[in-house]
Structures are given as C-alpha cells and as structure tokens.
Amino acid sequence: MAKNKRKQPRPSSPPLSTSGLLKLFKEVKRPLSRAEVIRQLKLKKKDKRVVKDMLGDLVEQGKLIRIRRGYGLADAMHCVTGRLEIQRGGFGFVIPEDSRRKDIFINQRDINDAWHGDKVIAAVIRENKGQRNNEGRIVRVLERGRKTLPVKVYKQMRGGDWLCRPTDPRLAFGIIAELNDESIQIKRGDIALCVPGEKIDPTMWEGEITAYLGPEEDISVQEALVKSNHNIRLRFPSGSVNQAEALPSEPSAKDLRDRRDLTKMPFVTIDGTTAKDFDDAILVERIKNGYRLWVAIADVSHYVPEGSPLDREALERGNSYYFPQSVEPMFPERLSNGLCSLNPNVKRLVMVACMDTDQQGRTRSAEMFPAVIQSHARLTYGQVKKAILDKEPEAREEISHVVPMLELAEELARKINALRRERGSLDFDLPEPEILFDINGETSDIRPKTRHFGHQLIEEFMIAANEAVAHFLIEQDMPCLFRIHPPADEEKLKNLFRLLSQTDKDILMPKEMTPKAIQRLIASQKGTDREYIVNRLLLRSMKQAKYSPDNEGHFGLASEEYAHFTSPIRRYADLVVHRLVKAALALKDQDAPAPAIPGQKRLLNIAGHLFGRERAGMDAEREIHKRVMVLFMRDKVGGTFGGVISHITDYGFYVELREVMAEGMVRLSSMDDDYYTYWAHREMLVGERTGQSFQLGQTVEVVLEDVSLERLELNFTLKYVSASAKDYKDLIE
C-alpha cells in the first residue's frame, strides 16, 4: 500500500519592514516599480497590499520619490526633505531636516502649490559652492504646516459663502468658505479660523470657517491668529492636566530625602515686575581667595518623568511662548507658577550648580547636586537698580536683609562680565521693543526696553552656571544637549568691514573673523552715529544658535562648552540637561540603580525638533510685534517722524523711527527728484542726476503715508535728508 505523501509547507515570505525596503533600493542603485520590489524580495501576491502601503509611507516621509510607475531614493535623485519658509519678496528657502545640509533657495515660480511652513520635497536643480545656497524647486508637499488658517473676512457671496484671505501675507491667495456651523456670526473685517479645502484655480481655494476670533483691531485677536499661524498649542491634553493636578501643592517629606537642606541660606530671585514663574535663585558668598556662587534651578525633572503625559506635551511645545498680553506655557500653571516656581518663603526642590571662583571671578571648581531651598526674597530688576546700583536709602532699607549679599553679587558679576569680554564674548547693544497698554487694553506706546546691570548680573550668573554644567557632563564622559552657535558668515563680515573702511580709514580688515575682532569693531563704534547700524549689521551676519549632541562651541559667547540648564520651566532642552546631570550623579553613586541615558540619535532628534519650535517662537514674537506696531500707527497717517536708514534694497530703503519702535519703507517709486541706482558693494542708493545718496545709518525725516495690516507694512515718503548725506555727483560724472 502506497504511503500518503506528506504535504510540504509553503515557504513563508520574509518579514517586511520599511527599513528593509530602503536597504533594497540602496543595494539595487536604481528606481524600482512595485512589481520589481516584490520580485527582488521574493514575496507572494498576498504581500502586494503591504508593499504598496509601505512604499506609500516612505513617499510620505520623503525618503522615496514617486516617478511614473516606479519609486526612487530621494537622496539619489538630489531631492531634499524640509520645511519651506517663504520670504517677504515671494521667494523661499527649504530648511532641510538634515541640519548638515545647506538651505535650498526656491524661486517664486518654483514654489508651486506649497505654502509657508509646509513639509516639502525639493529637487536640487543647481548646486552652488561655498556659502551660496543650492537652488531647487518644490516637487511635492508632504504635509501642510497648518491645517487651519486665520483669515480676514472680506464679503459674503450670493450663495451665502464668504470671500476670505489668509492673514499671513506670505499666503497670496483667496478662500471661498462656507460656515461649518450656522451659529457662527461673522461680518466683513472680522478674523476667523478656516480649514482650507480643494484648490479652485491658482489664486483661489475652497474652505470651511470653523470659528470666529473677533475684530481685527483687538490685540487678543491678533495674538490668537499669530498662535494659529505658528502652530502654538493653546490647551493641555487631559492626560497632562490630570498628571499636574495629582501633584502636591508642597514638596513632601519623601521628596526631601537625599537632598542638601539649604533652606537657611539667603537665596533670592530677581525677575521682572510681571513675572509669575521663578525658575532660578542666586546666592554669592565671599570665600578665601575668591567667591562662591550658588545658582539654584527649579528641579522640574523630579515631578516630570521622561515619557509621562506632561513630558510628552512639554517636548511637543518645546518651550513657552510669550506675547504682549498672554503666555502659552510649556507646563500647566500648577507647575510653572506653583510647585516648580521658587516663590519666597516656601520650600522648593532645586538642582544646584555651586561654583568657587578666584579673585578675578574665574571658575576654579564646580559641584552639581540636588537640594531644597527657601527663597528669602522675590526681588525685581527695578528694586536691584534702586538699592544696589543707585544706592537709594529708602530702597536699601526695604531689602536691607539681602543688601550685603547683593552688593557682593554685583562685585562678582562685574568681574565675570570683564572676563567674558576679555575672551571675546559679543554683546550687541540693540534695543528690544516693549509694548505698553492703557487700562482699556489699547496700545499706548512702543518703546525700547529699559536695561541696566541688574539684568546683566543675573545673565552673567546664568551663563557661568550653563558653562559649568556643560563642563561637568564632559568631564563625566556623559552625553549632553549642547547649545551651540556656529561661526558668523565670514563673507558677510568681510563685506561689512569693506563697507565701513570706505568711510573710516581706521577700520582695518582683520586676519581672522574671531569674536575678538568683532568685539573690537563694536567697541570702536561705541558712542558714534554708526553704533546702532553696525550692531544691527553684525547681528545679521550671525548664524542662529541651536541644540546639538556634538559640542561645537558657542561663537557669540566665545565659549568652548555651553549648555542650557537654567530655565527648565520654559525650555525643554534644560529639562533634558537636568536629567543628564542626575544620570551622571547616579553613576557616581554605587548604591543608585543604573540610570537611563539617551543615545546620540535620540538627542539629535530632540535637538532638531526644538530648533523648529524655537524658530516658530521667534517668528511668532516678531509677527505679533509687527501687528501691534501697525495697529498702533493706524491713526498716525500723515504724521512726520525722524528715523534712521536700517536696510537698503534696489527698490527703496527701510527706516526705523526714533519716536516709536516701528519700521517702514520709503519706496523709490515715491521719490520723483531723480533716478536712483543701487550700489550693492557700498550698500547705498545714489541719484543719477544729483548724486544724492542714501546710506545705512543715515538720519532722515519721513511722512507716514500708508498703513497696511494685510501686508504688515508701513509706507513712508521722504521729507528731509540729513546734511551728513554725501554727494556722489562727481563720481558719477
């Protein structure tokens, strides 16, 4: 009798993964169709759907590009994934996700259907050597940067839909929108939130209005639309709120274990008058042959475990966001204004950086440890100025119990500041705008913020602590999330030195563009008419600081080792550094369990995300200041103002006003006395017939002709040119 043949099992398909698919494309070194992928991997027909989905995921991630019926590696096809930033002139730049790549310039005609803030794939069409950006075109929008757009309502159409336009002037199209809820009441001129739909034609999209924000002249409405423009989160998820609410109002006895008790020591906080979250306290003592500087920072990491709901939300936000009338904090107020705020006369958990210095203020040794403190005074910068800098008797009496310590702190801070300047650290003396409101919430003035050495005192101590912590982690052979600042753009600096040397023969081109060389230039212009504009141009030549697990130094501070440690309530990077310090201390403790230490890739991903959120915060701050400025100037059309030329282009020049911190443009189209030519190598406009010139830093009088909130612009006409203007008629002839 014949034996039954045993049925052999069919060979199973190899396990699938997106990383495996990418590896295949790299090995084959050419584009592949879906069928070819299945053949190459020896898959079965049943795997078709899985392969299709995975290929789609890789396309969405920007790692593969869809070409006809196949797919190709984005890198191999000279394609780069990044965020699109559109500039005022209509052109844009793609900021690559890979921070090692150069930004890609995108001509206006090559932006296609992409919007400012979108995640895109750009094809590099021209590679430029040196400092010049590569050039490219947008080939695909991977993800809209904004799912909801703030819009201004212009009019109601016959069918009941509303004609709107995005409030962001970089989005140059209209939207025909319907209401998603008939209860939404809007009228012409209002600001609303709109979810864009399908494209109708090159200048028009469909949309749906989802919420009413209010009248555009209301500052709170302007703040709301700016928050929407920059994807700033307004509400905390229930998980993080519940976690915060479950925390105690005061540290428990268990929380105080294994901490040094420094509650008797006279720590103080020094902040602005309106500040509500106090994350740093300082104390200075005199010791043999020097000083002891104590910097105590709120121990947020004790209450926010990594991976918890509060931590995930804080990472998503990246930092706190500050607006003229509101704040969107990184943590709920229960932490930021309560348990983790170093309020006076209550026990608070802290991480301490204790530094011993020599007589000159140079740090000789430093120690990091957890502690508990009790702030002995909540001081303001104004109090410190009156009591310590101006030595007013009444102010000194009010805080007499901490005056001796503060005088010692001033002494040390001035010495640390002198050392920092000696090594080449840069301080740009540029005013920051301060917006003042009346009792009705209307803008009453926009003026430069008042700064004095009381502010500098705290800054010096925070810089010292940040450097000490970075040095500590390096010494312990631990990873760190460094705050790095790349060297300035050398070509821009050389152009600036050339420009200045044309009118001042004492200014010589340095052999190396070091911080010291730049500092000498700043010092040489101190007190002159050109001080402001030189500081402004130098700042423009600086690159943006960012976070990195690789220590590349901080150019602006002339610091070899620097990390952010001193603001964990409002910056997620500081929270990461606190955890790394605790991990380093745990490794030194034989009885402590082995700590979790993040790897290089994890830190690199965090650094990239935080860089994006930091840019969003800076852009939001600039935009709200510009919007408030435009609203403030609306009723001043026809007025005459004095100002200084701050920027020159081939179509006119920008003027910063003296009376109010506002900037607008004088366009060449408004100047009918001559034809003007832009001399790029000298940064000036010169009249062809008269030789009349306009240069950076030149004082002018202008008349405010037009204010546009839609374009965020002030337009001026020229009334008077300073007598210091040079006559270039002889050169032209």
| Beta bridge pairs of residue 199 | 205
- pLDDT tens sequence across 353-396: 999 999 999 999 999 999 999 999 999 999 999 999 999 999 99
pLDDT at 722: 62
Question: DSSP string spanning 94-137?
Answer: EEESSTTSPPEEE-GGG-TT--TT-EEEEEEEE---TTSPEEEE
Structural element, H or E, at residue 536: helix 531-541
215 by Cβ neighbours in 10 Å (0-12 / 13-18 / 19+) ranks as exposed
Name the phi and psi angles at 394, rounded to 5.
-65, -40
Residue with tokens 């060979």: 11
Note the helical H segments in 502-530.
515-524
Largest CA distance in the chain: 120
Contact 589, 597 (CB under 8 A): no
| Angstrom distance (rounded) from CA 581 to CA 597 | 10
* pLDDT at 150 (0 to 100): 96
On the question of pLDDT at 348 being above 90, the answer is yes
- What distances in angstroms separate CA 724 from CA 435, 529, 717, 719, 727, one per listed residue? 32, 11, 19, 15, 9
Confidence at 537, pLDDT banded by 50, 70, 90? confident
Span 135-148, pLDDT tens digits:
888 988 888 988 99
Confidence tier at 152 by pLDDT (50, 70, 90): very high
Tens digit of each residue's pLDDT (9 = 90 or more) over 294-322: 999 999 999 999 999 999 999 999 999 99
Distance CA 195, CA 166 (A): 11
Q: What was the pLDDT predicted at 290?
A: 96
Can you point out the beta strands (E) in 133-279? 134-143, 149-156, 162-166, 174-179, 190-201, 204-215, 260-261, 269-271
- Contact by Cβ (8 Å): 177, 165: no
- What values do phi and psi take at 617, rounded to 5? -65, -45
- Residue 209 corresponds to which tokens in the numbers above? 């209005």
**Distance of alpha carbon 117 from alpha carbon 615, whole angstroms:** 11
Q: Which residue has the tokens 């990239």?
A: 608
Instruction: Give residue 501's pLDDT.
Output: 83
pLDDT at position 479: 96
- Per-residue pLDDT tens digits for 212-261: 999 999 999 999 999 999 999 999 999 999 999 999 989 999 999 999 99
pLDDT of 626 over the 80 cut: yes
Residue 78 has pLDDT above 80, yes or no: no
Q: For residue 45, is pLDDT > 80?
A: no
| Position 40, amino acid | Q
What's the distance, Cα to Cα, between the start and end of the chain in Å?
117
Query: Model confidence at 7, in pLDDT bands (50, 70, 90)?
Result: very low
Taking residues 197-210, what's their average pLDDT?
93
d(CA 718, CA 725): 14
Sequential DSSP letters for 266-331 = --BEEE-TT-----EEEEEEEETTEEEEEEEEE-GGGTS-TTSHHHHHHHHH-B-EE-SS-EE-SS
Q: What is the pLDDT of residues 564-576, one digit of tens each?
A: 999 999 999 999 9
* Long-range pairs of 9-17 with CB within 8 A, sequence gap ≥ 24: 13/42, 13/43, 13/44, 13/46, 13/47, 14/41, 14/42, 14/43, 16/41, 16/43, 16/47, 16/50, 16/51, 16/54, 17/54
Cβ-contact 642, 657 below 8 angstroms:
yes
Looking at residue 636, what DSSP letter applies? G
What is the structure's pLDDT at 455? Answer: 93
Supply the mean pLDDT for the chain.
Answer: 89
Looking at residue 654, what is its pLDDT? 95
Number of Cβ within a 10 Å radius of residue 644: 21
Which residues, at least 6 apart from 167, have a Cβ–Cβ distance to it below 8 Å? Answer: 149, 150, 151, 152, 191, 225, 229, 710
Find the DSSP H helices in 364-484. Answer: 381-384, 393-398, 403-422, 453-475
Tell me what the mean pLDDT of segment 538-551 comes to: 91
Query: Does residue 503 have a pLDDT over 90?
Result: no
Whether the pLDDT of residue 34 is over 60: the answer is yes
**HSE-up of residue 173 (Cα within 13 Å, Cβ side):** 22
Confidence of residue 725 (pLDDT cuts 50, 70, 90): very low
Report yes or no: 431 and 656 within 8 Å, Cβ to Cβ. no
- Mean pLDDT for the stretch of residues 438-448: 86
Report all structural domains of the chain as residue ranges with CATH numbers, in order of start. Answer: 18-73 (1.10.10), 79-143 (2.40.50.700), 149-216 (2.40.50.140), 238-486+545-624 (no CATH), 490-541 (no CATH), 637-732 (2.40.50.140)
Residues comprising the chain, all counted: 733
Is the pLDDT score of 167 beyond 90? yes
SS3 track for 450-507: CCCHHHHHHHHHHHHHHHHHHHHHHHCCCCCCEEEECCCCHHHHHHHHHHHHCCCCCC
Note whether 413 and 464 are within 8 A (CB): no
Question: 32 pLDDT exceeds 50?
Answer: yes
d(CA 302, CA 304): 6
Residue 10 pLDDT exceeds 50: no
Q: What is the identity of the amino acid at 224? A: A
Classified as helix, coil or strand, 10 is coil
- Distance, in Å, from the CA atom of 437 to the CA atom of 485, rounded to the nearest integer, reads 36
Does the pLDDT of residue 731 top 50, yes or no? no
Instruction: Locate 101 and state its tokens.
Output: 């790549």
pLDDT in the model for residue 15: 61
Quick check: 723 pLDDT over 60? no
What whole-number distance in Å separates Cα of residue 303 and Cα of residue 402? 30
**Banded pLDDT at 56 (limits 50, 70, 90):** confident
The three-point CA angle 28-34-37 to 5° equals 35
Residue 710 to residue 630: CA distance in whole angstroms:
10
The predicted-structure confidence for 271-287, as pLDDT tens digits, reads as follows 998 888 899 999 999 99
SS3 label, residue 76: coil
pTM of the model: 0.86
The residue behind tokens 């990472």 is 315
Is the pLDDT higher at 663 or at 448?
663
CA proximity to 279, closest of 334, 324, 338: 338
- Are 686 and 693 contacting, i.e. CB atoms less than 8 angstroms apart? yes
The CA distance from 195 to 215, in Å, is: 19
User: What was the pLDDT predicted at 101?
Assistant: 79
* pLDDT at 46 (0 to 100): 75
Write down the pLDDT at residue 1.
Answer: 44
pLDDT at 99 over 80: no
